[in-house]
Structures are given as structure tokens and as C-alpha cells.
Amino acid sequence: MRKGFITIIFTFVFFLTACSQGVDKKTSEYKSPNGNTMVLTLFQNPKTLDIQKTNADYFIPLQIYDRLVDVKVNDKGKPEIIPSLAEKWEISDDGLTYTFHLRKGVHFHNGEELKSDDVLFTIEKMMDPKEAAINSYQFDKIEGALDKLNGKADKVSGVKVIDDYTIQLKLDSPYSPFLASLTGAPASIYNRKAVEEGKDKFGFDPKYTVGTGYMKFKDWSQDKEINLVKNENYFKKSPSIDGVKYLMNIDKSTERMMFDNGELDFMRLDYSNISNYKENSTFKDCIIDFNPPSMDYLIYNQKDPNMAKKEVRQAISMAIDRELFNKNFYDGEGILLNGVVPPGMPGYNENLPKIEYNPEKSKKIISDLGLTNKINLVILQNGSQDYTHPMNEMIQTMLKNVGINAEIKNMDMTSYWDTVAKGDGFAITLGPITADVPDPDDFYKSFTIEASKSEGYNVTNKQLSDKINAARSIRDDKKRLEALGILDKEIVHEEAMYIPIAAQKRHFIKSPRLENFHLSWQGWVCGSTLDVTINKSYNK
């Protein structure tokens, strides 16, 4: 998901309950071999730690790099945009020019001091067509950015270095969410020297993959583990833990066993196993229930000739029984969505018209088009998101019931995201989306012609795309959100660009040895690693 100073209210719901894995352990028997290192799992080997070239592997880069601005949840539960690498900033009266004043004395992990030239370099790298960055949208509102990306210019004209610690970014038009967008992972700031010296090794080799973040990249054993160590000289404060170890390709049963044995410090729970963690003295205060600003949804890829037809998209939406999804996969806790924005985000509207579930009408639409049993779709499946696999099977059955044939095509996570970005070889795909920045703009931007390609939608409706972009450009936040909200019905109902399914409550469990543990405002565990402390009485 992606101005002066802005405060945005989200709803966070935390409930602590008892927990167990069905093993009658005593607290005194729980011991961890991990010392002062926090041990987590990743789905699988990341594609790269160059955050400009991946939209799936944010967790590690968020810890090793910093951004000009950041997000912090205050004591009232309100995420605020706060200073980070930039200690302050000004925005011109016309909303076009952002002047950032960098902190002095901030150093990258290779010892280089952060300078304005590093910010310039980061933006130029993102917009260099030879880099083939998939997150170029991050800076495309800066004047001249698209000219460079399209090979029409050698530099981004809207970036101006005033001095070593002052840099100006001029936009091509007013864009109210710009400051919020700079909190996103792809806006991480790189060191020119490290990237230019590392070349193809940047993103893979710890010697060159450096940031200013509170964790440093130590080593990477492909398909096995990635290790981070704390940055003793972090400009805010050094972490209390020594580092973070990420283990990869751990199956669910092994993950549960490792967690119970103290070998893992954190695990996501699903509805099939949360009931097993109810009466255990060791873990009774360790479950976290969290309502993130996210949703599960179906992407309709209009590059597929069938999905290019609005009527087919509408028929598919009518064929999906979301109430059954909620009952079977969300334990009835899901919030069924009817618009673009999930709960917990500005612009969320719970009073939108309900998406119609009408399989008979769906079947008639397909029949009237003369396409009954003649449509063959590919449902692209992320092999690493195994909780979606039974959902895809249910979708396959629902489509079959209205005369649409669908084949499920499974891919590993890296191949999956590459395929989504290319838009070839699939018609629909089910996945989760979580807000990356504290503004709903990213959710709407996905349905513009420019941004929809990397998101897998491949939108062709220029008129609607122009309406979305016009609403996005409104400077007054209240009016902007109102203008975007008016388009929900057209996006979801009339054009059936996609179908939002539900916002689900997520359940996690942490090791009892972790104290001062806080998820990020998005519900990401990587947000906990700066402040968390380890109770050494639980260590072997």
C-alpha cells in the first residue's frame, strides 16, 4: 500500500489472551538458545535488499535503511509523520517545493556521512531507466522524474542540492500525500559511494548494502538465513538487542515446534491453531490480536482478454460469496469491504453499497455473452502465502458454478511478484495488501493507468484514471478524500476493477522473553526490533 506535519488517526485493537500449543509447560521450563538475538522467519529467500527493486521484501530494508521522514504511533494511538533523516522541512505556499534540512553527523554503515548528494543519488537511481526499478512511482511526482525514467532527460530537474545538509524537491503539480509517501520503504535513502562501488553486488553483499538504519546487514546464506546486527552508532539510539536472525523456508509445523522450544521469538497464528494456545502458563500473556490497515482482495488483470471485458469482471464479482469466505477463513471476524480503502485508514467508508452476490445473475451474464464454459482463467497463487490456497480453491469452485473454468497456478514468492509486475500469464490473483504509508492515496493510485501495471491490474479506462488522478491532486486533505471516496462506486461496482473481500483481524504470538514489544502501525514485526528488550532469565 503509499503535508506539512500531519496526524492521522487509525484504529488499533489489541487483546491479550492466554495461549498454548497444547503442551503443559511451566514458565520456569521455557528457555531460549538465542541469547540477546531476536529470531524470526521469512517466507523464503528475498529477491534483493535493494528496496527500489522489490515490492515484496520490505521487512529487512526497513531496518537497515532510513527515510527522510518516518511514522510513529503516539500515546493516543495516532500515527504521526515525524522527522527522521530530515530534522525539519518547509513546504512552499503553492505546495510544489519541499525543502528538507538533513541531520548533521548521521553516518552510513560504511562510515560515510549522510549528505544531500545521497538523497539526490537515491532519486536519480530510482528514475534511471537502466535500473529497471519497480517502485519508480515513489518519486514520479518530482518535476522531471518521468522525463528521466522515459529517457528524455539525464537528470531529475526537480531535485536541487542547496548545500550538504539542505535539499529541495520540487513537484510537477501539488500532491498532498507526498510527505506521507516519503515514509514508505521504497523511499529509503542510499549512499552514493556504496552503491556505485558495489554495482551489481548492492542489495546482496553486506560490504556495499549499507544504510543509516539501526540494524546492519551482516550476512546472507541463500535460502537459509539472513543476519542483522545492531548499529552501535545509530543516530537515534542503539537497539537493546544484539541483532535479528531471519530463518527462511520453515514449514508451518516446524515453525510451531521451534516457537514452543524457544528457538523462534514470534509467529503468526491462524484460525486453525489459535484455539490450541488457550491455557498455558508460559504463553498466557503472549497473544496479540491486531486490526491492521489491510485487506484481502482479488486483482483482475485486464491484460487477460477475458478480464478486459467489464461484464466478465462484474460477473466474477457477483459469483464470489464473501460471507462464506468470512465464515470459513476469518472465523466470522472479517469486515466485508465494499470500497477501495480498508478500516483504519482515512477515507474508509462503511456505508457504501454492498457488493452484490448473485450467482444466478452472474451465470446469465456469462451465458448472454456466449461464453459459458468457454472462459479459461488462470488464478495465480503465491506459494508462500499458504493461507490463501484453500481460498483459491473456493474461488475456483464458485467460478465453475457460473460457467467459468479456472486453473490455479502456484509460484514461489519471487516468481509470483515478478509475474504480477509483468502482467502476463494470469487473469486473477488473491492476496493481502497492507498500507505502506499513512495515507489512502496508494489504494486509489493502483487503479490509474500509470500505476496499475506494476500492481497487476493493467487498467485501460483512461477516463476513470484521469478522474482518480484529478482527485489525488487536490491539496486540501478533506476535499481530496471526499473526491476520491465518490469514485469508490465506479471503481468497485460499475467498472469492477477488483473485488475487496475482507479486512481480517490478525493474530500473533511472541516469545515471553520479549519485552517492550510493539508492532509497527501496519502490524509488521520489523517495527518491534528497535525498542524490544530480551528478558535474559528465559535464556539458556
Q: What residue ranges do the domains of the chain occupy?
A: 27-41+226-291+506-538, 63-202, 294-503
| Distance (Å, whole) CA 228 – CA 242 | 9
294-503: same fold as 63-202? no
The DSSP output letter for 109 is: T
Task: Determine contact, residues 347/481, Cβ cutoff 8 Å.
Answer: yes
Residue 461 · residue 495 · CB < 8 Å: yes
CA separation for the pair 321, 299 (Å, rounded): 16
Helix 389-400 to helix 310-319 angle (10° resolution) is 110
Distance CA 179, CA 79 (A): 14
At 356 the pLDDT is 96
Domain 294-503 matching CATH 3.10.105.10: the answer reads yes
Chain-centroid distance, C-alpha 469: 22
- List the CATH code of the domain at 27-41+226-291+506-538: 3.40.190.10
Partners of residue 267 on adjacent β-strands: 509
Q: What is the pLDDT along the chain (540 residues), one digit of tens a residue?
A: 433 333 333 333 333 333 333 444 444 588 999 999 999 999 778 889 999 998 778 999 999 999 999 998 777 666 789 999 999 999 999 999 999 999 999 999 999 999 999 999 999 999 999 999 988 888 999 999 999 999 999 999 999 999 999 999 999 998 999 999 999 999 999 999 999 999 999 999 999 999 999 999 999 999 999 999 999 999 999 999 999 999 998 988 999 999 999 999 999 987 777 777 767 778 878 999 998 899 999 999 999 999 999 999 999 999 999 999 999 999 899 999 999 999 988 899 999 999 999 999 999 999 999 999 999 999 999 998 888 999 999 999 999 999 999 999 999 888 898 899 899 999 999 988 888 888 999 899 999 998 898 889 999 999 999 999 999 989 888 999 999 999 999 999 999 999 999 998 889 999 999 999 999 999 999 999 999 999 999 999
Contacts 24+ apart (CB under 8 A), 457-465: 457/299, 457/300, 457/301, 457/302, 457/497, 457/498, 458/301, 458/302, 458/303, 458/423, 459/302, 459/497, 460/302, 460/308, 461/495, 464/490, 464/491, 464/495
Alpha helices for 456-502 (secondary structure H):
462-472, 477-486, 488-489
CA distance readout (Å), 339 to 285, 314, 452, 465, 494 = 36, 15, 17, 16, 12
What is the rounded CA–CA span in Å between residue 226 and residue 245? 6
CA distance 497 to 508: 32
CB 317 within 8 A of CB 500: no
pTM for the model = 0.83
CATH number of 63-202: 2.60.120.10, 2.120.10.30, 3.90.76.10, 1.10.3720.10? 3.90.76.10
